[in-house]
Amino acid sequence: MAVPERFRGAREAAVRQRRSMGAIAAACGLVALVPGAMLRSTAFASAFSAGASQSSIGQHLSARQLRTPMRAEAFDPFGWKNSLKDTFGGLLGGFSDEAPSKIEEQMIFEIFQKFDSDGDGILNLEEFNSLQVSTEGEDAVYNADQLKSLLVAVNPDIGKPELGMPFSDYRRLYAEGRLRQAYSTDARRDHAKIFGEEGFAKAAAVVEALAKAAAVAQGLSEGAEVTIEGLGGAVELNGQSGKIVVPVEAEANLVAEGRLIVQLAGTSERIALKPANLRTTNSKALAELE
């Protein structure tokens, strides 16, 4: 988290807003003038890399065979929609509060846990500054008054800011749009600084294991026959039956986000769905008997 010059992040956000005014004016009529932060070569590289990895096994899984119900959930492969949404949101006086992904939630927890040395659920001044040095460098440390001011800015209702930063408020720095903008927080970037690039795979594995355990507890293990229900967008899938199958490499990111791979009955089509939209055939039959 960058150290504000008397919490200069808010001032920088205002400057970005003013610069965005010109961009939005030029963008009227649906002309795609993209903010500089949106189109980074790394973003395109990762996006095209992901596409390439899927196409390399395209002979086994076509675009039709592997999908998520995209009309039911936002689909934004290059991040354009969210970046434009953030720009317009800022001009209208608010910032996007898109919830962190499950992997990002795990990353936020792992960062906090690493620096909460005494395990009391609060980062005291020493623990907080240790985190700051690891992510921002030696010049990013706070004194007691600065940390207290930060905590009040993050949560005006905090009870005892002199004790330090509780996890709930630490999470808000990454989860709330206005705070991400003001303090330039990024869970994936900070996690990589602390745990290295391999940390992502480890965090994803933890999320996948937790999701799999939860699914098994609901009777949604591999091989289970299921019925799809409750989709608000791709409604044509509701009522269709299928079977939970073993994911392949191209589906790893979907599974890491807590989805299950279902092969529709009588077809080779595979769909990634949330457990909440699946019901086992056995549980459905039992409910009908009741």
Contacts (Cβ under 8 Å, ≥6 apart) of 39: 78
At 269 the pLDDT is: 93
At 85 the pLDDT is: 44
pLDDT tens digits in sequence order for the chain, 290 residues long: 765 554 445 445 444 554 554 454 444 443 333 333 323 333 333 443 444 444 344 444 544 455 655 434 433 333 434 444 444 444 444 455 678 888 899 999 999 999 999 999 999 999 999 999 999 999 999 999 999 999 999 999 999 999 999 999 999 999 999 999 999 999 999 999 999 989 988 988 888 787 777 777 777 888 899 999 999 888 999 999 999 999 888 888 788 778 899 999 999 999 999 888 998 876 444 344 34
Kindly report the number of other CB atoms within 10 A of residue 118's CB atom.
9
At 115 the pLDDT is: 97
Q: How far apart are CA 217 and CA 260, in angstroms?
A: 14
CB half-sphere exposure, 38, CA atoms < 13 A: 18
What is the per-residue DSSP string for 151-191? HHHH-TT-S-GGG-EEHHHHHHHHHSHHHHHHHT--HHHHH
At 267 the pLDDT is: 93
At 49 the pLDDT is: 42
At 147 the pLDDT is: 96
| Cα→Cα distances 138→2, 60, 134, 135, Å | 12, 51, 8, 9
To the question of pTM greater than 0.95 for the whole model, the response is no
Contacts (Cβ under 8 Å, ≥6 apart) of 110: 191, 195, 199, 203
Sheet holding 225-228, edge to edge: 66-67, 270-273, 260-264, 241-244, 225-228, 278-280
